[in-house]
Amino acid sequence: YAGRLSLAVLLIFGLCLNFSAAAWSATWKMALGDSNGSPQHEVGKKFKEALEAKTNGKYKVTLFLNGQLGSEQDTVNDAAMGTLDMSCLAINNVTPFSPTVGVLSLPYVIQSLEEAAMLTQGEVGRELTENTIRDAGVRIVAWTYTGFRVLTNSKKPVSTLDDLQGLIVRVPKNEIMIDTYKSWGINPSPMAWSETFTALQQKVVDGQDNPYLTINAMQFYTVQKYITPIRYLFSIEPLIISEQLYQSLTPEMQEIVLAAGREATSHSQKFLADSEAAIIKDLTENKGMEIVMPADNEKLWIEKATQAVWPKHYKSIGGKEKLEKVLEILGRPQQ
Ligand code: MLT
């Protein structure tokens, strides 16, 4: 009897050990829309490295690049349902599920990396994170800074809004961006990111906009020639985690996830500041792209977009006061 009892105790003890080992280890899948060398990839790698170091390798992350796990917008739904653990994606692809983050992509609001960092890492970022948990079922744990989305096309130099007319420009499926191009007088073609390269290659569309770092990492220079460095949208790409997954973690583990996210955010800020100038040089000197400056310091582009798009989206961002607050933080209160 004593022998059987100790066997049972050993078994139960073994089961407990096994159970806690299982609960205290995992491999998470992270989706990324972009390729090797992109700012998304930098953030993904940094988060993975920090998480694995802080948990002595018990928690691991596997990165799936180039939209292997689906379009960026699909990954938000998948993470909300708990069928995907993490995703790093452009903010414009989060907005359809969490409209208030649109305040960060209203045209001509953010005007530098410093402004992007100040907003996302401060009170505004915290509020938008809470809203995204509520509205989209995912939590933002890090911010990728990718730079201004510049306009590229394969057909002609574009400097004025007149030059833009007649071009077929792909935009993400994002109402703010669609409305911005409409304010400039053209009807853009909304399309998933995962289909964009092929559409440019097959000349289904003539142009698109994305930051220099993305254009370079995704090799868009092989299918695009002219760059117009407009500054209507500073690209920010949140790293999100499934809220279901986050809530299943212990408080200690949640803190580790957030700390790994903070490291990834700082790394991203430095990565952009350190690499953008060299990438612009490479694109223009070695990869055949040509920069055409927007006419008159972009005056008309700015006027048209801000006048038409801001008021139209006050409601979706949670009220005009949300934009006013952001502009005040940036030291540019609305007149
Ligand atoms: C888009 O244009 O849909 C995104 O900005 C692409 C990206 O994730 O880099």
Euclidean distance between CA atoms 254 and 260, whole angstroms: 10
The per-residue pLDDT for range 233-270, each reduced to its tens digit, is 999 999 999 999 999 999 999 999 999 999 999 999 99
pLDDT at position 334: 82
Protein residue with its CA nearest to atom 1 in ligand 1: 193
Mutate to test the pocket of ligand 1, among 93, 151, 233 (most ligand atoms within 8 A of CB): 93
Mutate to test the pocket of ligand 1, among 92, 169, 209 (most ligand atoms within 8 A of CB): 92
Nearest C-alpha neighbor of 92 from the set 141, 149, 47, 134? 149
The per-residue pLDDT for range 137-158, each reduced to its tens digit, is 999 999 999 999 999 999 999 9
Using DSSP, state whether 233 is helix, strand or coil.
coil
The per-residue pLDDT for range 209-233, each reduced to its tens digit, is 999 999 999 999 999 999 999 999 9
* Ligand 1 geometric centre to CA of 15 (Å): 46
- Quickly state the pLDDT bin for 3 (edges 50, 70, 90): low
* Ligand 1 geometric centre to CA of 11 (Å): 52
Nearest C-alpha neighbor of 226 from the set 150, 152, 148, 298? 152
Percent of the chain with pLDDT over 70: 93
Assess contact for 35 and 66: CB atoms under 8 A. yes
pLDDT at position 12: 53
The CA–CA distances, whole Å, from 95 to 60, 261, 280, 332 equal 28, 20, 28, 24
Residue 8 has pLDDT above 80, yes or no: no
The owner of tokens 């995907």 is 84
Residues with CB under 6 A from ligand 1: 33-34, 72, 89-90, 92-93, 172, 193, 210, 214
* Ligand 1 geometric centre to CA of 99 (Å): 17
Angle 118-302-115 from CA coordinates, rounded to 5°: 5
Using DSSP, state whether 18 is helix, strand or coil.
helix
Mean pLDDT of the chain: 94
Euclidean distance between CA atoms 231 and 151, whole angstroms: 9
* Ligand 1 geometric centre to CA of 294 (Å): 22
ipTM of predicted complex = 0.94
* Ligand 1 geometric centre to CA of 251 (Å): 33
Residue 5 has pLDDT above 90, yes or no: no
The CA–CA distances, whole Å, from 133 to 19, 90, 130, 137, 244 equal 29, 17, 5, 5, 10
